[in-house]
């Protein structure tokens, strides 16, 4: 069964550093998403991406965040200058015209 | 805008018994989807069941079924014959039907931790 692949599974970074989280969506999917889950809390929408541009973003997705689909397969989330409160599980997801959402296994980001 | 509320932070059930997890939602959309996701300790998000709001019939997937009360904006999940592997965090979620089942932002509830006792 096709999967959404996220790397790394766990990343530790120092406050103020830039971090890039990587995702390989399912190959024939057209819509891509990032969600965030702070430990013990609910899953929150960050951004959706379609046709090489952001289609919707939440209030959380401020200027520190950016997304990119640099080639035909990868979908990345960049946090420019990490803060302690960015520590969370970050989920990538993709969906197709006829397929529902598929989530990746997540990247646990720890900012120290 | 959509909101999803799960009022039960924790629930427990004996193995082989039945448990119901509650969810209420609010939406300004005329058509939408509702979902239950399971998040085991591995923290992967796994789709359990999906309901299309315009369908009257409650969705069923093996041991999992929903009680969808559209007027009351209620969407509960019933797990029958509970198994140890059902232990997880369960999230209720909604999505507008603007793009069908595939496209659109999911709004999640706070989650319910389900413990299954042997």
Instruction: For chain B, positions 35-64, list CB contacts with chain A under 8 A.
Output: 42-47, 50
Q: Which residues of B touch A101 (CB under 8 A)?
A: 47, 102, 106
Q: Which residue has the tokens 């069923």?
A: B60
**CA-CA-CA-CA torsion sign (A59, A60, A64, A68):** negative
Instruction: Give the pLDDT score at A103.
Output: 94
Say if the Cβ atoms of A31 and B103 lie within 8 Å: yes
- Mean pLDDT of all residues in A81-93: 96
For A33-67, the DSSP string reads: EEEEE-TTS-EEEEEEEETTEEEEE-TT--TTEEE
The structural domains of chain B, with segments of one domain joined by +, span 2-117
The structural domains of chain A, with segments of one domain joined by +, span 5-95
β-strand A43-50 against A53-57: which pairing, if any? antiparallel
CATH number of the B2-117 domain: 2.60.40.10
* 3-class DSSP state of B58: coil
Measured in angstroms, the CA of A2 and the nearest CA of chain B are apart by 14
**Which tens digit of pLDDT belongs to each residue from B7-62?**
999 999 999 999 999 999 998 888 888 999 999 988 889 999 999 888 889 999 99
Instruction: Give the pLDDT score at B100.
Output: 53
**Which tens digit of pLDDT belongs to each residue from A39-59?**
888 899 999 998 889 999 999
Nearest by CB to A106, which of B43, B105, B108? B43
Nearest by CB to A103, which of B45, B99, B103? B45
Fold of A5-95: Immunoglobulin-like (2.60.40)
**Which tens digit of pLDDT belongs to each residue from B53-108?**
888 899 999 999 999 999 999 999 999 999 999 999 999 999 887 655 557 889 99
């Amino acid at each position: 069964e096709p999967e959404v692949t996220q790397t790394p599974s766990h990343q530790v970074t120092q406050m103020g550093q830039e971090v890039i989280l990587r995702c390989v969506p399912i190959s024939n999917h057209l819509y891509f998403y990032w969600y965030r889950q702070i430990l013990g809390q609910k899953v929150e929408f960050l951004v959706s991406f379609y046709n090489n541009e952001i289609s919707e973003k939440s209030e959380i997705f401020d200027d520190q965040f950016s997304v990119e689909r640099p080639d035909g397969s990868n979908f990345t989330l960049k946090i420019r200058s990490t803060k302690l409160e960015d520590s969370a599980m970050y989920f990538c997801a993709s969906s197709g015209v006829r397929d529902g959402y598929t989530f990746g296994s997540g990247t646990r980001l720890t900012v120290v | 805008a959509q909101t999803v509320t799960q009022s039960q932070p924790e629930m427990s059930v004996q193995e082989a018994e039945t448990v119901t997890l509650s969810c209420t939602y609010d939406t300004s959309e005329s058509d939408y989807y509702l979902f239950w996701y399971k998040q085991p300790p591995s923290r992967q998000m796994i789709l359990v069941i999906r309901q299309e709001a315009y369908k009257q019939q409650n969705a069923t997937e093996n041991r999992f079924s929903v009680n969808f009360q559209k007027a009351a904006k209620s969407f509960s999940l019933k797990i029958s014959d509970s198994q140890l592997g059902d232990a997880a965090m369960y999230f209720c979620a909604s999505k507008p039907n603007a793009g069908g089942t595939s496209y659109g932002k999911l709004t999640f509830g706070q989650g319910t931790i389900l413990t299954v006792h042997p």
